[in-house]
């Protein structure tokens, strides 16, 4: 794998959607470049059209570009609308094709819609944190779900550990 160091980062966002104590997870299609057949949460990449096709917020800028992109991705991937989007954390990784990726992880409540998957996913489930432990999740997703579970219960999410290196 050749690391593409001079070409910037791919910016993506994910959403841990919660409803009645459960979290939506989806199984990625086998054709995905990164993490095929793994379980994850909805999300995707920021596209310039996510903001350039809308009026600028100020004379020079577009605010809420990531949130608007995330809402678009959720609607495209799982056909759901969500409520208030709250920031959880950020992380970075290198895709198998060498592209560096920055992921901004958010959490939000389910608002409306019935899950209908696009071609990027082959299955879905609404699961509790405990049930999520039985799925082959992308490394780190379980800890993120645990963090949101703690936040929703009024507990400190900083007690969650990401150090699960085998």
Where b means 16+ CB within 10 Å and e means fewer, 18-28 reads beeebbbbbbb
The architecture of the domain spanning 10-159 is Alpha-Beta Complex (3.90)
Other C-beta atoms lying within 10 Å of the C-beta of residue 80: 21
The pLDDT of residue 165: 47
Give this prediction's pTM: 0.89
Comparing 48-52, 84-88, 101-105, 123-127, the range with the smallest average pLDDT is 48-52
pLDDT in tens, 3-51: 566 668 889 999 999 999 999 999 999 998 778 999 999 999 998 888 8
Write down the domain spans for the chain.
Answer: 10-159
> Is pLDDT at 153 greater than 90 in this prediction?
yes
Residue 149 has pLDDT above 70, yes or no: yes
Phi and psi at 71, nearest 5°, equal -60, -40
Beta-ladder partners of 125? 25
């Amino acid at each position: 794998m050749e690391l593409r160091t001079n070409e910037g980062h791919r910016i993506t966002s994910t959403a841990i959607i919660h409803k009645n104590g459960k979290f939506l997870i989806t199984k990625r299609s086998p054709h995905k470049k990164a993490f095929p057949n793994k379980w994850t949460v909805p999300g995707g990449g920021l596209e310039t059209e996510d903001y350039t096709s809308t009026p600028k917020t100020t004379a020079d800028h577009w605010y809420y570009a990531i949130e608007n992109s995330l809402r678009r991705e959720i609607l495209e991937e799982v056909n759901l609308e969500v409520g208030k989007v709250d920031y959880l954390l950020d992380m970075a990784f290198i895709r198998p094709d060498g592209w560096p990726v920055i992921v901004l992880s958010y959490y939000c409540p389910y608002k409306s819609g019935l899950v209908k998957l696009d071609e990027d996913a082959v299955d879905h489930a609404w699961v509790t944190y405990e049930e999520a432990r039985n799925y082959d999740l992308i490394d780190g997703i379980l800890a993120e779900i645990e963090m949101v579970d703690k936040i929703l219960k009024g507990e400190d999410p900083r007690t969650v550990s990401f150090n699960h290196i085998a």
